[in-house]
Chains A and B, each alone.
Chain A
Amino acid sequence: MSPRTDQPRDERLAAALRRLAVPEHRAGFRAELRTSLEREADRRGPRPRTSRRRRLARPWRLGLATAAAAVALAVLALMIALPSSEPELGTAADVRERVAEGWASARSVSGELIIESAGVFGPGERRWSFALTDRGDLRLTDLTRGGDLAYDAGRNVERSLSPSESMQDVDAPFGSERTGLAPGPPDQGPSTVILDRSLGSVVRALAASEGGSVREVTHEGRPAWFLETDIRVNLLAPESSPNHLEVTVDRQTGFPVRAVATRDGERVYETRVERLVVDAPPPGDAFRLEFPPGTEVFRSDAGFRRMSMDEAEAAVPYELLVPARVPDGYVLAEVAVSHRPSPTGAEGANPAVADVVSLSYRRGLDQLIVTTRPVGDDPSAWSDPLATGEGYVDDPERVTFAEGALAGRQGKLLVDPLAIPHVWAMTDRLVVTVSGDVARAELLEVAASLESHG
C-alpha cells in the first residue's frame, strides 16, 4: 500500500464508533466454544509425532489466535450485531430519551415559534423568533405584534422593547431594563415564560407521561417522529385542560417541532417550531438590545449578585446547603445571592425574605437550580415556592428524606407538565427548593445529597 492513499483518521467519528455497544456474549458462550474446539481436536485424531519445537508452536499460535480473534470480533462483530437497515420505528421511550438528550446536549437553538390558542395568548396565531444558548442567553422577538426581548447572560441584563397594548396612538415602544436577575425559579429570572409554556412544557409533558404510540412522519422535509400520549389533566379546570398530546419530534435534533394538545379530540392549543437551527453559533450581538434614542426606559434591579460559593457562604446568616451530587453532565454555572426580600409562591403569597442563595447548574439547555432562604418568623405561612399558581391546582407527592441535611424532613415533589419539576422542603431555619429539567429520581437524589458547605 502507498501511505499517500491514507487520509487522516476521523477522530470524532472514531470515538463515536468505539462507543457503539458491542453486545455481551450469551450465557455459556465460552463452554460452548471449548466443547466445539475439543470436538474438532478429537475429530482430527491423534496428532503425528512432531519435534518439540513444533509441539510448542501450536499452543503458542492457538493462544495468540484466540486473543487476536477476540479483539477482532469486538469491532467486526458490529457488522452483524447492528440492526438491519430496514427503517425501524422508535418506541415512545426512544422518543422521550431523544428529546431529553437533545436539550441536554445542545449549545444553542433558534427558530420561529408559533402558538395557536384560544386562551393563553388570545385567539388566533402568534409568532415569535427565538434563540437560546446553553449559557442562558435569550432572544425573543414578537413577529405578530412587534416587541423584542434580549437577555445577555454574561452581563445579567435583560432589555425589552414593547409596543403599547392600550395606547393605540402611541408609536414609540416602551423600554425595560432588568438587572440583578436570579438564575431562575422560584425567584425572578429571565423572561422565559413564553418558551417555557410552549417548548419546555412539551418536553416536560413527554417526560412525565407514560406509554404512547409512535409513527414516522416528515416535518418540513425532515424525518420526524409523531408521538401520541395521554397527559395529566389539571384538577381545577378539567373541562378546559388537555388530556392528550400529539408531539412531532425532529429526529435529527430531538427537538419537539409541533405539539397539539387536545381535550377529548378538541384542540386546546397548538405549538409549532419552524426554521429550527441547532448549534449554529448566534451572532455576537444577538443577545444585546439597544434602546432607540428617546425611548422611555423603566429600570429595575431584582437584587441578585453573582459571587463565589465561599463568598455566598459568608454573605448569608446561615450554613449554606450545597448538593454533593448532581446528575451527569450538570456543572455549576452560577452562584447568586440576594439580600433584598423577594416573594415566591402562587401569586407571591409566601413571606418575602432576604438572604436568598440560588445555585444554578447547567447541562446544555437544561438547568437545575437549588435555592435556600430563611423560613422567617412563621413557618406555617409557607406553601410551595414554585407552585404553578394562576388558578391551577398542583397535586404534589409527599416524600421523606433519609439522608443529608434534609434527613427526616418531609418534602413535596411535583413533576407535572404545567410546572417546573421540583421538590421543596423546610428545615427549622431554611426553605429549600430543588428544581429543573431532571427526572423525579434525580430531583430526590439531589435534594437528599444537600450538605453544609465547607
Chain B
Amino acid sequence: MDDALQDAYLKAFRALPSFRGGSTVATWLYRIVYNACLDHLRQEGRTDHLPLDDTDERPGGDPDPADVAVGKHDLAAALASLPPDVRAAVLLVDAEGMSYAQAAEILGIPDGTVGSRLNRARRLLRRALGDEQNGTEER
C-alpha cells in the first residue's frame, strides 16, 4: 500500500503542472491514486479475478470468487475477492459517499456501469455482513 501511495504522490507532483482544472482537484487526485493502485496490483499479479459481468449470471456455473469469500462472513475477504474496479466503485460510493457521477469520473466508466457494479458488489458484501441469509433480518 505504501509503495502505491509513494507513487501516487510522485505522479501527482509530476502531473501538477498539467492540471488544467477540468475536474476538481480531488477527483483528479482520486484518479491518480486509483491508477497507482491498479499498477501495483498488476505488478503483484493480484488481478487474476474472474471478469465480473454486469449481470448476476456466470457462464458455466463457475462459482464467483466473491461468492466463495462471503462464506467466510468476513467483509474484508469478500471485498478483496471483488475485481479492483468493482471494489473501487463500492469504496468510493458507499464508503466515501460519492455520487455515481463522481465515481464514474474517477473510474473512467459510464454512470450506469457504476450502478450495475455497485448492485452486484452490494449484494455480495451484504451477505458477508450476514444479511439476506437464512431469513435473517437487519438489525
CB <8 Å contact, B14 and A40 = yes
Which of B49, B93, B96 has the most chain A CB within a 10 Å cutoff?
A: B96
**Contact of A76 with B79 at beta-carbon distance under 8 Å, contacts A13-B122, A17-B90 already known:** no
Query: Which residues of the partner chain B approach A25 to less than 8 Å between Cβ atoms?
Result: 2, 5
The residue on A at minimum CB distance from B10 is A36
A61: contacting residue among B14, B25, B135, CB under 8 A: B25
Is B79 a contact of A20 with CB atoms below 8 Å? yes
Q: Which residues of B contact A41 (CB under 8 A)?
A: 13
Residues of B within 8 A of A71 (CB): 26
Whether A37 and B81, one on each chain, are in contact in the complex, defined by CB atoms closer than 8 angstroms, is no
When C-beta atoms are compared, the residue in chain B nearest to A2 turns out to be B111
* A78 within 8 Å of B (CB atoms): yes
Proximity string of chain B (76-96) to chain A, C-beta cutoff 8 Å, 1 when within and 0 when not: 110111001001101111111
User: B32, B76, B94, B102: which contacts A14 (Cβ < 8 A)?
Assistant: B94
Q: Give every chain B residue within 8 A of A254 (Cβ-Cβ).
A: 73
Are B95 and A17 touching (Cβ within 8 A)? yes
Which of A2, A12, A16, A80 lies in contact with B40, CB distance below 8 A?
A80
The answer to whether B71 and A68 touch across the interface, beta carbons within 8 angstroms, is no
Min Cβ gap A231→B in Å is: 25
Question: What interface size band does chain B fall in?
Answer: 35 or more
For A167, list chain B residues within 8 Å (CB). none
With a cutoff of 8 Å between Cβ atoms, the chain B residues found around residue A72 in the complex are 8, 26, 29-30, 33
Contact with A along B52-82 (1 / 0, CB 8 A): 0000000000000110110111011101110
A-chain residues with CB within 8 Å of residue B135 when the two chains form the complex: 277, 280
Residues 224-259 of chain A: 1 if any B CB is under 8 Å from the residue's CB, otherwise 0? 000000000000000000000000000111100000
Q: B49 contacts which chain A residues (CB < 8 A)?
A: 85
A58 and B69 within 8 A (CB): no
Contact partner, B95, options A18, A37, A62, A81, Cβ 8 Å: A18
List residues of A (74-95) whose CB comes within 8 Å of B's CBs.
75-85, 87-88, 90
Q: A5 → chain B, closest Cβ, in Å?
A: 5
Classify the interface of chain B: helix, strand, loop or mixed. helix
Provide the bound-state CA to CA distance between A315 and B17, in Å: 78
Which residues of chain A are near B75, meaning CB under 8 Å? Answer: 16-17, 20
Q: Which residues of B contact A65 (CB under 8 A)?
A: 12-13, 16, 25, 29
- Residues of chain A with a CB closer than 8 A to B71's CB: 222-223, 251-252
Interface contact B134-A277, CB-CB below 8 Å: yes
User: B73 and A253: CB pair below 8 A?
Assistant: yes
With both beta carbons as reference points, the residue of chain B lying nearest to A43 in the complex is identified as B14
Complex: chain A residue closest to B115, CB-CB: A5
Contact with B along A319-341 (1 / 0, CB 8 A): 00000000000000000000000
Nearest Cβ in chain A — how far from B93, in angstroms? 7
Instruction: Give the distance in Å from the alpha carbon of A396 to the alpha carbon of B96 in the complex.
Output: 51
12 further A-B contacts with Cβ under 8 Å, apart from A16-B129, A80-B46, A85-B65, are A5-B112, A6-B99, A9-B93, A12-B138, A16-B125, A33-B6, A61-B19, A72-B30, A76-B91, A278-B134, A279-B137, A280-B134
Closest 10 CB pairs of A and B: A1-B101, A82-B80, A223-B71, A17-B95, A85-B81, A252-B73, A81-B1, A72-B33, A14-B94, A68-B29
Enumerate chain B interface residues (CB-CB to A < 8 A): 1-2, 4-6, 8-10, 12-14, 16, 19, 25-26, 29-30, 32-34, 37-38, 40-41, 44, 46, 49, 65-66, 68-69, 71-73, 75-77, 79-81, 84, 87-88, 90-97, 99-102, 104, 111-112, 114-115, 118, 122, 125-126, 129-131, 133-139
